[in-house]
Structure 1
Amino acid sequence: MNKSELIEVVAKEAGLSKATVSKVINSYHKAVQVAMSQGDKVTLPGFGTFQVSERKERSGRNPRTGDPMTIAAAKLPRFKPGKLLKDSLA
């Protein structure tokens, strides 16, 4: 399912216009992005938790040349599914 299909399904289910649902979904994405960029967790009970994970600097090898290299530390978005979401997939 892509974003436009999601908007269509939510609009039909909620009885709202696609434009309204699109604004809500865009606002939701922006709110999650801002919260995570500030280091906060976003928890949606039953659905899951969005959080920032930090990966340490590590050594690796360039796959093309085989030369050793340092892979920089990074902050990554993570999603941990909630119990209701996990149970719905079983």
Structure 2
Amino acid sequence: MSRDELIKKMAEAAGITQKAAALALNAMLDGITQSLKKEEKVSLVGFGSFNVAHRKARNGINPKTKKPLKIPARKVPVFKPGKQLKEAVKAGKKK
């Protein structure tokens, strides 16, 4: 599903305009992004949680040249699905 399709679905479900749905989606995504920048955890009960993981620096190999290289430490966003989301996806797989 694309962003535009999600906005249309939100607008239909909430009985609002697509413009209002786009504003709501952008506000939600911005709120999650700002919280993760501050390394705060964002929990949406039943859906899942977003947080920041710290990856340590490590050694790697360039696949083209086979030369070793250093991969720097970094922070990455992580999403952990909630129980309801896991169950909904699992139930969707059944034929």
- Who is 2:88 aligned against? 88
Shift of 1:11: 0.4
- CA deviations 1:55-90 (Å, max 9, x no partner) are 000001111111111101111110000000000112
After TM superposition, list the pairs within 5 Å mapping 1:22-33 onto structure 2.
22-33=22-33
| Distance in structure 2 (CA, Å) of the matches to 1:31 and 1:88 | 25
User: Any gaps of 5 or more consecutive residues in structure 2?
Assistant: 91-95
3-state SS in 2 of match to 1:25: helix
Report the AA paired with residue 62 of structure 2: N
Structure 1 runs of 4+ aligned residues shifted over 3 Å read none
- CA distance in 2 between partners of 1:12 and 1:65 (Å): 52
Measured in 2, the distance between the counterparts of 1:34 and 1:48 equals 17
1:8 aligns with 2:8: yes
Deviations 1:17-54 (A, max 9, x none): 10001001001110000000000000000000000011
| Structure 1 segment 1-90 matched on structure 2, within 5 A | 1-90=1-90
Q: Secondary structure of 1:89's partner? A: helix
Q: Which whole-Å CA distance do the structure 2 matches of 1:89 and 1:28 have between them?
A: 23
Identity over the aligned pairs, expressed in percent?
39
Counterpart Cα distance in 1 of 2:62 and 2:6: 40
TM-score scaled by structure 1?
0.97
